[in-house]
Structure 1
């Protein structure tokens, strides 16, 4: 089992590699080869010609492409490596189409559809949410984001400055606070899988599920904050310049490209850095778990003192 990294610097380096959008262009043959190298290495089967650099490159592509618990290949749009290109385009729309009702509805529908795919793909362990639960989570998050955006737009309808431009971020923060807990609510009701150092399932904890969902929600909001706050501030400054105001063509056509570029630049850094805020493979002492979970684990022969779980992304 790969133990959690306690250093945020080490985690950041890992996620800068595994969230690299270029991994999306790897071929099926490359992915399968990397999967074989990593799974064989975990079993102690090591090709004598395999170098350390080749092993790390294989692990980077494996971590980017396959789910850490199930080992299944993740849908490419749901991978964290798709966050930068996917959210870059969507954020450009969110920050540029916030003034009109159709623009708000369309951009937030697209955004929440993308988020639903990402949240489901990066859920923890082997937990399976029902189709009904997924649909309700999606509808609530989309409805919450649209309601927040439209309501806040009405409050600042006479403002054409920074306040109006910050409405999309407020709506996104609310949607994340709704979508992630609802999408993963079955982990709270059933418990999050706990494993020993040999990757053997030893129990399930609701307490760790609540903590993990809170950490993921905080990470996602923090991930969106820099580029969804700084981009409107920069764009607001640009629109106040004489150069911008005296060029109608720039006022008409430049807003979406500029904000899309700035969002992409921000996402390149915020995606790996915010994924690294908390260990994805986390550990907890058995004595800090719920009493019934402690009893279950400690009743096993040679019980572990520390167990591990995947908090998800």
Structure 2
């Protein structure tokens, strides 16, 4: 009986267009360098990702999941694989795999923050306006902080509600207190009160919305992703890094436009068309955030690490018993 042997052209057609050993669990660029992390986050925070349909998101998830199983769609190129990976990363939580609420995704940061921040900096002179926009801002931050939390432990509605009320109340109270102080300073200095309020509020909102992580810990792994346990110490480092990133992220958009707006409002154009003040302010903030958001996300590696010696004593003992010689553990710090 004759045995059929496919020809080389047929074998080439049967072979996948791309290799099966591309590590799409990690970003495309070297995350040990700031430039590599910046390239990664410019892609992750691309505002165009929030315009993608559910069908596009599900198609990206299928491509990524299939590739991890060794299945490659005919004609798929490496660039298309990486594009699917980044669409997937922009919409699905890295630990739980669940689809994230759209306004909580990092790709929504620029359009949402430019609108809220621009309005906070335009309508800051009266207490009702400060109260309303700080409440809107902290409610948005609460959604972002929950959506981009680290770990896969579930959080109850009661816990989430308590954290939201505590975080928002504390943040709004801080903003109102600073606004009262602002009435004693010059108008230019007063324009910086929203930034001081946002910086202070981030120090309250983020830890409160992620308090479960501080109490129960977040998953820590070895370099290959093998789970070693949960650590509160790792959660403390992760949340501290996120607080610093968020404050610096807000800095350019809240520090540069006040100087520009203070000058523009003395010109004839804005005196004649005062309603243009808010759109101009929003636009200025947006320009700053397009660059500040990815660059500040890149300050610390997403896959953060810490020495085993800094972990809780019981977790250290367990790791030394099961993985002797392991010196560092890794974890998702959240965003």
With the length of structure 1 as denominator, give the TM-score of the two structures. Answer: 0.91
Higher relative contact order (CA 8 A, sep 6+): 1
Equivalent residue number for residue 17 of structure 2: none
**Secondary structure in 1 matching 2:55:** helix
Shift of the alpha carbon at 1:47?
4.1
- Shifted more, 184-193 versus 280-289: the winner is 280-289
- SS of corresponding position for 2:286: helix
Kept in 2, the 8 Å contact 1:141–1:176? The answer is no
Residue 212 in structure 1 maps to residue 238 in structure 2: yes
Deviation at 1:308, TM superposition (A): 2.0
Does the C-alpha gap of structure 1 residues 101 and 197 become closer, same or farther in structure 2, counting only changes over 3 Å? same
Structure-1 residue corresponding to 2:221: 195
Which sections of structure 1, spanning at least 5 residues, go unmatched?
A: none
Of 159, 164, 167, 2:193 maps to 167
Q: Deviations over 1:225-251 (max 9, x none)?
A: 11111111211122234x35xx6432x
The farther-off stretch of 289-298 and 252-261 is 289-298
The 1-side partners of 2:325 and 2:66 are apart by 27
Query: Partner of 2:88 in structure 1?
Result: 62
Give the unaligned 5+ runs of structure 2: 1-24
Whole-angstrom CA distance in 1 between matches of 2:324 and 2:69: 22
Q: Distance between the aligned counterparts of 2:193 and 2:40, measured in 1? A: 33
2:110, 2:293 within 8 Å by CA — same for their partners in 1? yes
CA distance in 1 between partners of 2:298 and 2:89 (Å): 14
TM-score by length of 2: 0.86
Q: Which residue of 1 aligns with 2:252?
A: 226
Is residue 2:306 matched to residue 1:284? Answer: yes
Shift of the 106–301 alpha-carbon distance from structure 1 to 2, 3 Å rule, reads: closer
* 1:199 counterpart SS class: coil
- Determine the structure 2 residue equivalent to 1:28: 54
Q: Aligned-pair RMSD on alpha carbons?
A: 2.1
Q: Which residue does 1:118 correspond to in 2?
A: 144
Q: Structure 1 residues 302 and 40, CA, compared in 2 at 3 Å: closer, same or farther?
A: farther
Q: Alignment partner of 2:322: what SS?
A: coil
Structure 1 residue 298, shift from structure 2 partner: 2.7
Counterparts of 1:261-280 in structure 2, within 5 Å, are 261-280=283-302
Post-superposition Cα deviations, 1:153-210, rounded to whole Å, max 9, x if no partner, equal 2223254521111111111111110010111111111111012344332111111110
Give runs of aligned pairs for residues 94-113 of structure 1, distance below 5 A.
Answer: 94-113=120-139
* Alignment partner, residue 212 of structure 2: 186
1:2 matched to which residue of 2?
Answer: 26
Determine the C-alpha separation between the residues in 1 that align with 2:326 and 2:67.
24
1:286/1:248 CA distance change after superposition, 3 Å: closer
**Mapping of residues 45-60 of structure 1, within 5 Å:** 45-47=71-73, 49-60=75-86
CA-CA distance at 1:303 after TM superposition: 7.5
Taking the aligned partners of 1:141 and 1:172, their CA distance within structure 2 comes to: 12
Which position in structure 1 is the counterpart of 2:175? Answer: 149
Q: Residues 159 and 54 of structure 1: is their aligned pair in 2 closer, same or farther, counting only changes over 3 Å?
A: same
